[in-house]
Amino acid sequence: MRTSGAIEDTLLLLEHPHTYTLGKTADRTNLIGSEEYLEKNGISVFEIDRGGDITYHGPGQIVGYPIIDLNKWKPDTHLYLRNLEEVIIKVLAEYGIESGRKPEYTGVWVGESKIAAIGIRVSRWVTMHGFAFNINTDLELFNGIIPCGIKDKEVTSLSRLLKREINIDEVKQKLRDQFVLHFDYTTLKEIDIYQLVH
């Protein structure tokens, strides 16, 4: 629909039910949870067409799906990825948390722990998929996978770092504001928010 111009650029921000997704380059051996583990925790498994390996999505995690025509912004997938990371880095800074990138990996890191995973697909310069930002996420459910295929790193969340429950709608608003700033929009009118109800 974005390719045909039927919709404007859109940012979907939502929470998924418990899910593991494997990207196009995923190594299925990074799914280490047994069938019993998956059933016990109510986790579904899907193979999808984004880049990257395996990750977890679930309640308390903001998953962002930007649907953007890069021809109308900048037709540069590397710059697009860096900007997605920068949006999250700036939101974390608003909470007093210093974060950054690692040259060998995509995503956003706080020290040696990953707080946001990024996996995208671009077709005819229109973006699909996006990022998963751990807010109040149950990090125990990452134990059923090797997150992003990275064996020697941990995952973290905003609530773990701040040692309190976080208002997830507040984080969504901050993401919207940073998204408008970093992708050169003048208003929020193009950016809609949808949240799945569990």
pLDDT at 35: 96
pLDDT at 3: 66
Q: Please, which contacts does 73-82 make with residues 24 or more away whose CB atoms are closer than 8 Å? A: 73/183, 73/184, 75/125, 77/120, 77/122, 80/120, 80/122, 80/127, 81/106, 81/118, 81/120
- Can you give the residue ranges of every domain in the chain? 10-182
pLDDT at 6: 65
Active site annotation includes 122: no
- What are the pLDDT digits (tens) for 117-134? 999 999 999 999 999 999
Residues of the chain with pLDDT under 70: 1, 3-6, 187-198
Beta bridge partners, 45, equal 20
pLDDT at 76: 96
Name residue, tokens 């860096």: 82
- What are the pLDDT digits (tens) for 83-93? 999 999 999 99
- Output the CATH code of domain 10-182: 3.30.930.10
Q: Is the pTM of this model over 0.85?
A: yes
- As a whole number of angstroms, the distance between CA 196 and CA 198 comes to 6
Beta bridge partners, 65, equal 12
Active-site residue identified among 148, 158, 175, 180 = 148
* Helix, strand counts (H, E) of the chain: 4, 10
Amino acid at 64: G
